[in-house]
């Protein structure tokens, strides 16, 4: 069974092909190639699991190279990017080549930036292998590497030619990473669709067990929501910013902990609870709804309190976020489950109340 979700962006339109056991199918990508070369970007763990199967899906006649990059957010740097570019140059890939990202969000962001900038842009295919990448980073065309002083400060908007969303890959994912991905699934409910939030609430145990029909529905609805937001605002001039719900807090937590302690989805989980808490303090979100958000995040096995950190350090890191414009922190805050706004109305004092709340977020 394959579902197709169209991302309609004019001449940059593409489809997300969603299904089970797609990697390994013959002729998987034939229709997307424009030349006879491809570079697969992956890491050691994913290589062991899926590289051979992927190569069996590609035409024998093609020249396939592979570059293995180190795993983890700490390696999503200009240095690792330069290694991918070096591989393309040294193995003489021309402008009709295809770069294939096989892995999670780090691989996708990095390979996408290489595809966007090698010879001013070559064909790019996303094959996400984590839940976070399936529902978020592989869809929407953001590519990036980190700078020592901030996450994703370097990158482009560059759409893939297609996304192969194979939920079978989730069966080999460490449970901690699966739960981290659920944070982004919950996010779509909070920002856009209260019915979807209710559905996640009911089906959570089946999602954690990766039951196929439930997981397919969760990925499909998440991708549909992301696609409709991206279609309305590809380059994040306005509405697309709502996708960053929980992310300004989350990015700051990641930065202050040196990208070592928290997975991105875990930081977003805490960030979503902090954003709900702040929304509640501002009188915008009823306490019962803030508590529902906190409870669902907690039931998903995700943290709902920040690590022990200086509130000032977290606040300073929030000020380095890309969403800060002319010194004013812009936050995505909730007016209800399914409805968020982008605002700079939260005062520094109230933000510090949330930062200082620690274990008591979203409690009345």
Could you list the residues that contact a copy of itself (CB under 8 A)?
35-36, 78, 82, 85-86, 89-90, 92, 94-96, 113, 116-121, 142-144, 147, 149-150, 153-157, 235-236, 320, 322, 324-326
CA–CA separation, 269 vs 255, rounded Å? 15
Concerning whether 79 is annotated as a catalytic residue, the answer is no
Residue 151: CB minimum distance to a copy of itself, A:
11
Concerning whether 264 is annotated as a catalytic residue, the answer is yes
Concerning whether 120 is annotated as a catalytic residue, the answer is yes
- The secondary structure element, H or E, covering residue 275 is helix 264-281
Concerning whether 236 is annotated as a catalytic residue, the answer is yes
Residue 120: CB minimum distance to a copy of itself, A:
5
Eight-state DSSP code of residue 28 = T
Query: Which residue of the set 73, 177, 236, 266 is catalytic?
Result: 236
The residues pairing with 5 across neighbouring beta strands, listed in sequence order, are 16
> Where on the phi/psi map is residue 214: left (φ > 0), alpha (ψ -120 to 50), or beta?
alpha
Residue 121: CB minimum distance to a copy of itself, A:
7
Query: Which residue of the set 31, 60, 90, 120 is catalytic?
Result: 120
Concerning whether 226 is annotated as a catalytic residue, the answer is yes
Concerning whether 220 is annotated as a catalytic residue, the answer is no
* Identity of the residue, 50 or 75, whose beta carbon is nearer to a copy of itself in the bound complex: 75
Residue 11: CB minimum distance to a copy of itself, A:
10
Query: Which residue of the set 93, 217, 221, 240 is catalytic?
Result: 240
* Identity of the residue, 233 or 295, whose beta carbon is nearer to a copy of itself in the bound complex: 233
Eight-state DSSP code of residue 325 = B
Looking only at the bridges linking them, the beta strands covering 63-68 and 37-42 are: parallel
* Identity of the residue, 4 or 86, whose beta carbon is nearer to a copy of itself in the bound complex: 86
* Identity of the residue, 244 or 279, whose beta carbon is nearer to a copy of itself in the bound complex: 244
Is residue 96 within 8 Å of 122, Cβ to Cβ?
yes
* Identity of the residue, 74 or 78, whose beta carbon is nearer to a copy of itself in the bound complex: 78
Residue 265: CB minimum distance to a copy of itself, A:
21
Concerning whether 4 is annotated as a catalytic residue, the answer is no
Concerning whether 217 is annotated as a catalytic residue, the answer is no
Q: How many CA atoms lie within 13 A of 25 on its CB side?
A: 16
Is residue 354 within 8 Å of 281, Cβ to Cβ?
yes
- Using only the alpha carbons of the chain, give its radius of gyration: 20
Query: Which residue of the set 247, 281, 292, 294 is catalytic?
Result: 247
Neighbours of 344 (CB within 10 A): 14
Concerning whether 251 is annotated as a catalytic residue, the answer is yes
* Identity of the residue, 90 or 359, whose beta carbon is nearer to a copy of itself in the bound complex: 90
Query: Which residue of the set 251, 294, 323, 330 is catalytic?
Result: 251
CA–CA separation, 308 vs 168, rounded Å? 37
Q: Is 356 exposed, middle or buried (0-12, 13-18, 19+ CB in 10 A)?
A: exposed
The per-residue DSSP string of 176-209 comes to HHHHHHHHHHHHHHHHH-HHHHHHHHHHHHHHHT
Handedness of CA 116, 119, 120, 125 (dihedral sign): negative
Residue 149: CB minimum distance to a copy of itself, A:
5
Query: Which residue of the set 142, 217, 221, 292 is catalytic?
Result: 142
Which residues participate in catalysis according to the annotation?
A: 120, 142, 184, 226, 236, 240, 244, 247, 251, 264
């Amino acid at each position: 069974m394959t579902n197709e979700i169209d991302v309609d962006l004019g001449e940059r339109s593409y489809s997300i092909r969603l299904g089970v056991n797609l990697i390994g199918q013959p002729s998987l990508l034939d229709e997307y190639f424009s030349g006879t070369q491809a570079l697969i970007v992956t890491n050691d763990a994913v290589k062991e699991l899926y590289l051979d199967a992927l190569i069996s899906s590609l035409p024998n006649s093609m020249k396939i190279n592979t570059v293995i990059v180190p795993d983890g957010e700490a390696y999503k740097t200009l240095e690792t990017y330069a290694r991918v570019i070096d591989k393309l140059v040294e193995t003489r890939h021309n402008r009709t080549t295809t770069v294939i990202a096989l892995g999670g969000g780090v691989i996708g962001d990095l390979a996408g930036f290489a595809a966007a900038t090698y010879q001013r842009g070559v064909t790019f295919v996303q094959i996400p292998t984590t839940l976070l990448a399936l529902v978020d980073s592989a869809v929407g065309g953001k590519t990036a590497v980190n700078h020592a002083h901030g996450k994703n400060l370097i990158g482009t908007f560059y759409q893939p030619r297609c996304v192969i969303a194979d939920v079978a890959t989730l069966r080999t994912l460490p449970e901690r990473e699966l739960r981290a991905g659920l944070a982004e699934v919950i996010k779509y409910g909070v920002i856009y669709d209260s019915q979807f939030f209710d559905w996640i609430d009911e089906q959570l145990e089946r999602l954690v067990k990766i039951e196929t029909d439930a997981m397919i529905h969760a990925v499909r609805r998440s991708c549909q929501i992301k696609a409709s937001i991206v279609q309305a605002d590809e380059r994040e001039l306005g509405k697309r910013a709502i996708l960053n719900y929980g992310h300004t807090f989350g990015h700051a937590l990641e930065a202050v902990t040196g990208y070592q302690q928290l997975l991105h989805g875990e930081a977003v989980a805490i960030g979503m609870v902090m954003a709900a808490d702040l929304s509640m303090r501002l009188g915008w979100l009823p306490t019962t709804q803030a508590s529902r958000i906190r409870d669902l995040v907690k039931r998903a096995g995700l943290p709902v309190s920040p690590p022990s950190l200086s509130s000032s350090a977290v606040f300073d890191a929030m000020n380095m976020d890309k969403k800060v414009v002319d010194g004013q922190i812009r936050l995505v805050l909730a007016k209800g489950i399914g409805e968020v706004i982008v605002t700079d109305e939260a005062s520094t004092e109230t933000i510090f109340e949330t930062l200082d709340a620690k274990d008591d977020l979203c409690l009345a």
